[in-house]
Every structure is written in structure tokens, then in C-alpha cells.
């Protein structure tokens, strides 16, 4: 992949001068969905698939951007002296956002650069292509300008860019695991304190598969932001009624059940229920994995999907079809949608010896019911950003 991006760089920006190539992974979340902006726990891992960028420093104040995913847009030039969001930013809003967020933290950058982005991560399907792009950019700037920001600061800068520049009120999960991911482990993160632990993914005869629904997501950003507001409403009501909590993640299931009558609006109650129960499920799932109890882990995945479908209402026909099709197969111990939802991907844990049959059958069922072809691939757990 590195060679492909570097060749493209030479073709678009010429062969003169020194350039450097960097990588940042995508991520897949194993469990703990829509808990990160509720002060709960998440359990994602970084992928070996991700975004690559080749970069050469410039002497002026222009940043020239090119993406192999948007070749029709050509080179887009951003001036370091004009980092305001505009309607026409398109894919470059993530980069501009990071340029803006970094200069808010360390002051204006001294000069610009030429950069080409490419890679092998499917984009816009719930594997965090946007956070991969943002973190990669923050990492490149940190390295190029010797800013000495640590991984957590890079994650927070990337999140700030998405929240305040791009306008998605996402939590910290994606940026955090992308900056800190470690091979063969998943990252168990408490999003309220940012304490984390690497947990080995020891699946023995099983593998995690990703099934891409190929369903184009629409309006997912505004639906995402609405879910977040609904959770904030629930939290506010609990607090007004005297509960001493900072986030929904502070509540146990029992405390939620005792107090849920305070949430008179059924929709708000369902959203809060998901946030609380999913957080508890994530803790149980991590314990199950540590005890090599994969069956329990699989059961919790299914419960998570049910809750995302019925209480949080972020699943869709395509994701439900993939999960149902997966669960009908031999050698499967769990399946759920992953990421924000409204399209994107589902995951499943499948016995190694049954993977071929699984892929064949799930593809067939999915095509018959949803009229899309699904791409199914085995998760390989990678590590955080680095120079390649
Ligand atoms: C998106 C967001 C994350 C998280 C997930 C849902 O990936 O970027 O912060 O909220 O959705 O778990």
C-alpha cells in the first residue's frame, strides 16, 4: 500500500524533495456501543487496515491535499491563514478541522505541506475511516513540527476537530483506540476517566469476522447527534431529581430500574436504558473474555444488538439481516452491529473451520433479502499510527 500511495504522490506532486509516509489504523468495536459519550466503557480494537499518507514539507503557508478516494476532486489547497469551515470542504473538513484544533493548542504552524491520502480501509462503513484520517493528520503534524504531543493529546485534538469543526458530537472511542491500539489486543477504556487496559484477544479456534452491509448511510450524523441529546435529557432529569451522578455510565442496572419512572417519555427511557445496560454488558463481556468464556461473550454480543435495535433504534434491516443470517450458521457464537449504526458493518465470532461455509451462506441470504452483496473479512488486529 505504501508504494501505491508514494507512486501517486510522485505523479501528483512531482519527485523533488524528501517525503515521508505514515499510517493510522481503522477500528472495529467489539462491544460497548453508544456508551462513550455517556461516560461508559467501550471495547474496540485497531485494525491492520487503515489510512496511509505521503507528506512533503513546503516553505509557504499552503497545505495541498489529495485523496485517492476522491480523485475527481483533484488537489485542494487550504491556507494555514484561513482555517474556517465552509460548505464546500467535503472530505477535507477532517484535515482542516485538525489543522484548526492543533493551532488552537500550540499556535499557528510555521509552514504548509503537500499530502496524499490513500489506504485499504473501506470508507464510511462504521470502521472509523474519518477518525483514522483525523488521527493520521494530527500524528503527521506532531511528527513534522516536533510538537511532542502524546497519544492522548492527539486523540483529544482529533475529537475536538470532529466535535467543533465537522459538527459530529462523537465520543472519544475511535480517536483513542486509533492512537493507542496494540496488536492482538482490544482496548478496554473507561470513557469517563480515560483509564484503559489492553486485553489480549485470545480466540483459539475462533475468529472475528466483519460483514459490510454496503448500505449507504444517510443523515447518520444528525441522527447520531439526536441520540446524544436524548441521553443528555435523561441525565438532566435524573440529576434534577436528586441523583448524584455525572453521566449515565455512573448508574448500575438496579439503580436505573429504581429510577426509570422519572423518565416519563418512553423514547428517552429506552435510550437511557441502552446506555446503562450496554455499559454493564461491556464490563461483563471483558470479564468473560479474560476467563476465556467465549460463549458468554457471544451471548452478550447478541444482547447488545437487540438493545441497539429495539431500545436505541440505530440498527436497520440490512444489519439485522446480517446478524440473523450469521446466527443461523454452524460454529457461530455471537453477532452484532458495530459502530454508530444506520448502515455500516456487523461482526460475528465464528469457528475457524466453518468460516468458508459461513461466508458462502451469509452472502447468499443477504443477497436474497437485501439485494446487496456483502463483503466479509477476518479481523486482523493492528497497532496505532506509525511511520512506514
Ligand atoms: C461513532 C462515534 C463513536 C461512538 C460510536 C458508537 O463511531 O464516533 O464516538 O459513539 O459511533 O459507539
Instruction: Please write the tens of the pLDDT for every residue from 162-207.
Output: 999 998 899 999 999 999 999 999 999 999 999 999 999 989 899 9
- Nearest atom in ligand 1 to 33's CA: 12
Cα-to-centroid distance, 34 and ligand 1 (Å): 6
The rounded distance, in Å, linking the Cα atoms of 303 and 311 is: 11
Q: Which residues line ligand 1 (CB under 6 A)?
A: 29, 33-34, 36-37, 128, 170-171, 173-174, 339-340
Catalytic residue positions, numbered: 174
CB atoms within 10 A of CB 180: 19
Q: Is the pLDDT confidence value at 321 over 70?
A: yes
User: Can you read off the three cell numbers belonging to residue 48?
Assistant: 491492520
Q: Which band of pLDDT confidence, cut at 50, 70 and 90, is reported for residue 366?
A: very high
- Residue 220, pLDDT score: 66
Q: How far is CA 89 from the centre of its chain?
A: 21
Q: What is the DSSP letter of 275?
A: H
110 CB-contact burial (10 Å; exposed 0-12 / middle 13-18 / buried 19+): exposed
- Nearest atom in ligand 1 to 35's CA: 12
The rounded distance, in Å, linking the Cα atoms of 380 and 275 is: 28
The rounded distance, in Å, linking the Cα atoms of 259 and 265 is: 13
Phi-psi region of 303 (alpha: psi -120 to 50; beta: other; left: phi over 0): alpha
Q: Is the pLDDT confidence value at 218 over 90?
A: no
Task: Tell me which of 131, 158, 173, 221 to substitute to probe ligand 1's pocket, judged by most ligand atoms within 8 Å of the beta carbon.
Answer: 173
Which residues are 65's β-sheet partners? 76, 115
Pairing of strands 206-212, 332-338: unpaired
365 Cβ neighbours under 8 A, 6+ residues apart: 321, 325, 328
Q: What is the DSSP letter of 204?
A: T
User: Can you read off the three cell numbers belonging to residue 178?
Assistant: 486509533
pLDDT digits over 133-163, tens only? 999 999 999 999 999 999 999 999 999 999 9
Domain spanning 1-26+45-183+202-246+313-388: CATH 3.30.230.10: yes
Amino acid at each position: 500500500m505504501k508504494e501505491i500511495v508514494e507512486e501517486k504522490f510522485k505523479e501528483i506532486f512531482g519527485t523533488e524533495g524528501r517525503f515521508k509516509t505514515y499510517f493510522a489504523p481503522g477500528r472495529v468495536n467489539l462491544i460497548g456501543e453508544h456508551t462513550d459519550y455517556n461516560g461508559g466503557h467501550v471495547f474496540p480494537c485497531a485494525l491492520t487496515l487503515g489510512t496511509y499518507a505521503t507528506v512533503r514539507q513546503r516553505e509557504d503557508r499552503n497545505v495541498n491535499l489529495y485523496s485517492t478516494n476522491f480523485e475527481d476532486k483533484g488537489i485542494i489547497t487550504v491556507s494555514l491563514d484561513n482555517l474556517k469551515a465552509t460548505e464546500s470542504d467535503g472530505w477535507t473538513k477532517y484535515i482542516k478541522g485538525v489543522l484548526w484544533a492543533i493551532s488552537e493548542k500550540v499556535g499557528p504552524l510555521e509552514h504548509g505541506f503537500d499530502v496524499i491520502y490513500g489506504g485499504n480501509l473501506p470508507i464510511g462503513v462504521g470502521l472509523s475511516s474519518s477518525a483514522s484520517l483525523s488521527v493520521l493528520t494530527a500524528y503527521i503534524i506532531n511528527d513534522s513540527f516536533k510538537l511532542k504531543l502524546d497519544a492522548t493529546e492527539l486523540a483529544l485534538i482529533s475529537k475536538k476537530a470532529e466535535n467543533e469543526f465537522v459538527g459530529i458530537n462523537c465520543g472519544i472511542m475511535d480517536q483513542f483506540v486509533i492512537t493507542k491500539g496494540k496488536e492482538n489486543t482490544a482496548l478496554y477504556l473507561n470513557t469517563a476517566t480515560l483509564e484503559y487496559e489492553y486485553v489480549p484477544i485470545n480466540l483459539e479456534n475462533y475468529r472475528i469476522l466483519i460483514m459490510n452491509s454496503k448500505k449507504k448511510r444517510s443523515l447518520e450524523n444528525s441522527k447520531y447527534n439526536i441520540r446524544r441529546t436524548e441521553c443528555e435529557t435523561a441525565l438532566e432529569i435524573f440529576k434534577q431529581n436528586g441523583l448524584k451522578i455525572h453521566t449515565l455510565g455512573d448508574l448500575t442496572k438496579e439503580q436505573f430500574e429504581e429510577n426509570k419512572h422519572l423518565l416519563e417519555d418512553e423514547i428517552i427511557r429506552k435510550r437511557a436504558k441502552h446506555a446503562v445496560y450496554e455499559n454493564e454488558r461491556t464490563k461483563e463481556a471483558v470479564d468473560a473474555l479474560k476467563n476465556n468464556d467465549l460463549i458468554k461473550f457471544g451471548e452478550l454480543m447478541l444482547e447488545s444488538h437487540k438493545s441497539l435495535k429495539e431500545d436505541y433504534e440505530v440498527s436497520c434491516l440490512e444489519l439485522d439481516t446480517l446478524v440473523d443470517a450469521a446466527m443461523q450458521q454452524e460454529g457461530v457464537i455471537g453477532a452484532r452491529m458495530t459502530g454508530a449504526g444506520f448502515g455500516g458493518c456487523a461482526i460475528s465470532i465464528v469457528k475457524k473451520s466453518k468460516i468458508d461455509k459461513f461466508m458462502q451462506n451469509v452472502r447468499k441470504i443477504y443477497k436474497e433479502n437485501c439485494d446487496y452483496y456483502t463483503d466479509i473479512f477476518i479481523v486482523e488486529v493492528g497497532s496505532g499510527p506509525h511511520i512506514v
